[in-house]
Amino acid sequence: MKFTNIKYIAFVLLLVGVIGCDSVTNSFTDGYNENPNNPTSAPADKIFVAGQVGAVTFLESHSARKGSMWAQYFSGEDRQYSSIYSYNVTASDSDSDWFMAYVRGLTNLRLAREKYNALNVVPQNQVATTKIWEAMLMGQVTALWGDVPFSEAINSDETTTPSYDGQSSVYSSVQTLLNEAITTLEANSSVGISSDVTSLGGDASKWLKVAYTLKARYLMHTGDVSGALTAAQSGIDAADGTGDALMPHGPQQARNQNLYYAFTNVERAGYLAADRSHALDMLNNGNNGKTDETARLNYYYDGTDLNSTDGFAAATESFPLVTYMENQMIIAEAEAAKGTTAGNQNAIEALNNSRDYLDNKFGTDNYDDLVLTDFEAGGAYANTDIPQHVRNWTYLGLIGQIEGFNFVRRIDYNVDGLSPVQGSEFPQRFLYPQDERNTNSDNLPDPVPGLFDATPVNQ
């Protein structure tokens, strides 16, 4: 009898053990889900740095190389790059560009701004600089793709499928961001900007001028030539290059090396070269009584390769984001467009400023000042009218940058000697990425435009 009781009690205890022992099991597992490797939040400055590096990676890597191939600055000579060079490109090729712009760039720039705005004392210049960065990034994004998510972007609490804003609306938002930044920086131009990754070293007055040059750039995109001219006149004004926004680079692989160098020398030797570069040909044939392009040629190119030893694609070479050169070219283009003698005179002045800039940059005296008669019979550029020369010159002034691709599309590839490398059409855009087609297809423009369909501003 006693025996049976023990048995009975044992069974009951065992059954009780099975049922309702959550607390036993939970107490062993609770508190072990906190990630020791990565924090769940970070301060604004740190996020801002990441956002800038993300934006630069967009501006300086695959998108820049792809744009440069289609602008025929460089040529694709191996595998996927040979296909891309000859306009053989698929939607998935844009995935990484888009990801870099939105997830690494815009996300962190906006998060940083949110965090700055949430501080007890809001650092206004920091907020303003995040706006300039966002404008610089999203201006290029809309230039490359046309209609893109902007107002609903990076707000996953509200929507995981952001709608696409019209291209003109994005451009106007970009202008608004720049205007706000300009207002702020003009009021606080002596207050330094922290966590600035560029060559500007946090100088608010320099950032102010960068904001104006960017305004000019995007007004040119949208065809507001006179507005662009006005803005450019407040833009970067240091012919010695000290006002240029550049991304500094260093020798450390996978840390701070120039991304052109990392691509052409470390990751994908042989993919990107200049065997079939129109810019190289133009520089080769660009010498005359006023102009000696040797230094510029050797800066960008080394034979049929990019100059990765001591030039544009060297490991430690800074990458241009916004420069005095570009600002002067906008002035030149806008002035030349007037079709007046005064306009031509002003355009030539801007050209000469940019020629001084190049001499400063290369430490040369290769670029003599131009005068109106250089474009008349017997002149160095006798066969070229001024607007065409400005276009040729601007083309050569943007080698390796996305803006060069934006520029040639804006002017219908009207650069001397430029013709499609395949077929009869020039590329007009980046394709909408496969990732976005898979996840946000309802919001994509319908029909989805192809490579040769111009973005709305260029139609």
Partner 1 sequence: MLRKLLSMAMFMLFFAATSVAQNGTVTGTVTDSETGETMPGVNVVIQELETGASTDANGEYTITGVESGTYTIQASFVGYQQYTQEIEVDAGENVYNIQMAPDVVGLDEVVVSALGFEENADEQGTSSAQVSGNDIAASGELDVVSGLSGKAAGVNVTGTGGDPGAASRIVIRGANTITGDIDPLFVIDGVPVSNATIGSGVGGVQQQSRINDLNPDDIESVQVLKGPSAAALWGSRASNGVVLIETKTGQATEGNKVNISVKSEWSVDVLNKTVDLQKKYGQGIGGSYVSGTPFSWGDKIADRPGGDDVMDMSDGNAYFGPDGEKYGVITQKNSRQTYDHSEAIFENGLKRDNSISISGGSENGTFRLSVGNVAQDGIILDNSDYNRTTVKGVATRNWDNFSATVNAQYTNSTSNRIQQGSNVSGLLLGAYRTSPDFDFRPHTVDYVNPDGSITPGKHRSYRNPVGAGDSPIYNNPLWTIENALNETQVQRILGSTELQYDPTSWLSFTHRLGVDTYTDRRYSVFPTYDASNPSGALTEQKLGQYQVNSDLIAKASHTLNEDFSGTLTVGWNVNHREYDEVGATSTDIILQGFNRDVSNYNSKNPFQERSTQRTSAIYGVLDISAYDMLFLEVTGREESASTFGENTDGSFFYPSASLAWQFTELDALSDNDILSFGKLRLSYGEAGTQPPIYSTQTTFFQGNIVGSWGESLNPAEYGGGFARSSEAGNANLKVERTTEYEVGADLRFFNDRIDLSLTRYITETEDAILGVDRAPSSGFSTQLANAGAIENKGFEADLSIEMIRSQEFSWVINGNWSKNINKVTSLAGANELGLAGFTSATSSAIVGEEYGVFFGNAWARNDDGSLTLDDNGFPQAAAAQKIIGNPNPDWRAGVGSTVNYKGLRLNFLVDIKQGGDVWNGTKGALKFFGVHGSQDWETTADQDLTTWDGGTIQEGETFRGYVEDFGGGPVAVTGVAHYSGPFSGFTGPAEPNIEDGGFVRLRQVSLGYSISGQGFRDATGLRSVDLSATGRNLLLFTDYSGIDPETNLTGPSNGFGLDYFNNPSTRSFIFSVKVNY
Judged by CB under 8 A, the residue of 95, 224, 326, 335 near partner 1 is 95
Of 79 and 382, the one with the shorter C-beta distance to partner 1 is 79
Span from 85-93, 124-132, 332-340, 370-378 in contact with partner 1 (CB under 8 A): 85-93
CB of 187 to partner 1, least distance (A): 25
Burial degree of 455 (CB within 10 A; 0-12, 13-18, 19+): buried
CB of 100 to partner 1, least distance (A): 7
Of 18 and 377, the one with the shorter C-beta distance to partner 1 is 18
With binding defined as CB under 8 A, does residue 49 bind partner 1? yes
Of 35 and 190, the one with the shorter C-beta distance to partner 1 is 35
Interatomic CA distance for residues 262 and 249, integer angstroms:
11
With binding defined as CB under 8 A, does residue 452 bind partner 1? no
Judged by CB under 8 A, the residue of 70, 116, 263, 357 near partner 1 is 263
Judged by CB under 8 A, the residue of 223, 251, 289, 339 near partner 1 is 251
With binding defined as CB under 8 A, does residue 217 bind partner 1? no
CB of 422 to partner 1, least distance (A): 10
Of 77 and 356, the one with the shorter C-beta distance to partner 1 is 77
With binding defined as CB under 8 A, does residue 298 bind partner 1? no
CB of 277 to partner 1, least distance (A): 19
- Scan residues 99-118 and list those touching partner 1 (CB under 8 A): 99-100, 102-104, 106-108, 111
Number of residues interacting with partner 1: please give it, by CB under 8 A.
Answer: 100
One symbol per residue from 406 to 445: x for binding partner 1 (CB under 8 A), - otherwise; what is it?
Answer: ---------------------------xxxx-xxx-----
One symbol per residue from 63 to 82: x for binding partner 1 (CB under 8 A), - otherwise; what is it?
Answer: ---------------xxx-x
- Scan residues 10-39 and list those touching partner 1 (CB under 8 A): 10-11, 14-15, 17-18, 21-22, 24-39
Of 373 and 438, the one with the shorter C-beta distance to partner 1 is 438
Of 261 and 381, the one with the shorter C-beta distance to partner 1 is 261
Of 126 and 265, the one with the shorter C-beta distance to partner 1 is 265
CB of 129 to partner 1, least distance (A): 13
